Each structure stands twice: as C-alpha cells, then as structure tokens.
Amino acid sequence: MRAPLIAGNWKMNGSLSLIDTFAEALSGAELPQAVTLALAVPFPYVGVARERLPQNVRLAGQTLSDQPSGAFTGEVSGAMLADVGADMVLVGHSERRTLFGEDDAAVLARVQAALGHGLTPVLCLGETLEERDAGRTEAVVLGQLEAVMEALDGDERARLVLAYEPVWAIGTGRTATPEQAQQVHAAIRARLERYDGALAASMQVLYGGSMKPDNAAELLAQPDIDGGLIGGASLKVDDFLAICQSAG
C-alpha cells in the first residue's frame, strides 16, 4: 500500500501569523497515522516554518534554480532549501510552465538539481483546457512525464513524487470528476510500468486540481490517487485538516 501524502501549496500567500496558526492546529490535531503532511510555503517562510511546525510535517520549496549558486539574482538553490529545513520541492507546476516559461528541458534540469541536493522533487504534470478538449490529455501528461523519466536512472526515478494537476481545474472552481482523475492517474501508472513494475506500484501520484473538503474523500478513494497537492484549501487550516482526515 502507498501511504497517502497531503501537500499544501501556499503559492504567493501566507504570513508568520498563518504559520503560527498551522503550527498550533497541527500540534494538537489527531490525524490518521498513515497520512504524511507537507507544506510548500514561500521561500522567506521555509526556515521559520521548520522551526515552528511539528517535525513530522515535511516542508517544500515551490521551485528551485537549476544552478547550484552564482550571479542569478532572485533565484534560490536546492542547497539553500535544504539548509533551511526543506526536504521536498515542487518542480514543473503549471504556473511555472505557463507564467515563467519553464519547458520540459527546464523542468528536467530542476528535477536533477533537486535530486543532487537530496530533495524529493514533486513533479507536476497537467494539461490545459484546450489540450483536454482536443483529446490530447494523455499525450501531454505522459509526454511531460517521459521528458523527465527518460533522463533519469532507476534510483533517481524512485525518489520522485508525481502530481497530476489538470490546469483547467486550478483556481477555476472546476474539478475533474473522480473518474476523470482516476483515468489519468491510471495512465500515468501504466506508463511507469514501462520503466519498472515495482516503481509503478510504489510511486505516489497526487491529484492537484482544486481538491477541497467536500470532494477529497471521493477523489482519494480512487485506486491510483495517493494524496493531494492542495492549493487554496491549504490556506485554511480547518479545510486542510479535513482533507487530511479524508486520506486516512
């Protein structure tokens, strides 16, 4: 059985007071033992979050540079993330791909940088509404997956977490039905079988399309959905805890 992972992505939101709110709530919460929690907070808050949140909450950067150091104003390296307590990092989030022009090559370089600094990359995959309407969902999602997997060896592949995030269901209030989400997750797992059967069986594949307390249980009940990459609901501690409870 793959243990569920519920990861919150705060995007460019949050504050020290919100970290304190989560720290208090998570310290006293009785959550299912099998569920792992993670938060991807903005860069300035990673170190503080590590100090204040319970140690069993994993911390993630929201992206990283593909460079180890140097004259790259505004960038953050994998070594810096690890230095302040992160052990995960989102790579290839749809907003990085669409707003900041990160293509498959850029995503691969960041996955490799994360692995090189001992971070767990959460590789995000997803299609736009136009691509879905054109019947290209699997071609796009599996193409993004292969662009990374083909360049890694078996040990490196095993260190990844995947997140399927239909771009048309992020921040729009629209959500893929559990059946639609499961279909794509199953296709991802089937493609992983081509690399290694054990990899396909063990790889955590999260769903990242507007998961909320009222739809989490049904989504998480699907056989190939192993958790969630939560956006807006991860900024509301009660909603985030409710989703975590649904994963137990």
| Known catalytic residue at 138 | no
Q: Could you tell me the two tokens for 5? A: 């992972």
Catalytic residue among 93, 95, 102, 127: 93
Catalytic residue among 138, 165, 185, 218: 165
3-state secondary structure (DSSP) of residue 157 = helix
Distances (CA, A) of 72 to 22, 69, 76, 83, 238: 32, 8, 9, 18, 38
245 contacts: CB under 8 Å, gap ≥ 6: 31, 32
| Known catalytic residue at 165 | yes
Distance between CA atoms of residues 63 and 88, nearest Å:
10
Distance between CA atoms of residues 151 and 2, nearest Å:
25
Q: Which residue is associated with the tokens 């959905």?
A: 225
**Active-site residue list:** 93, 165
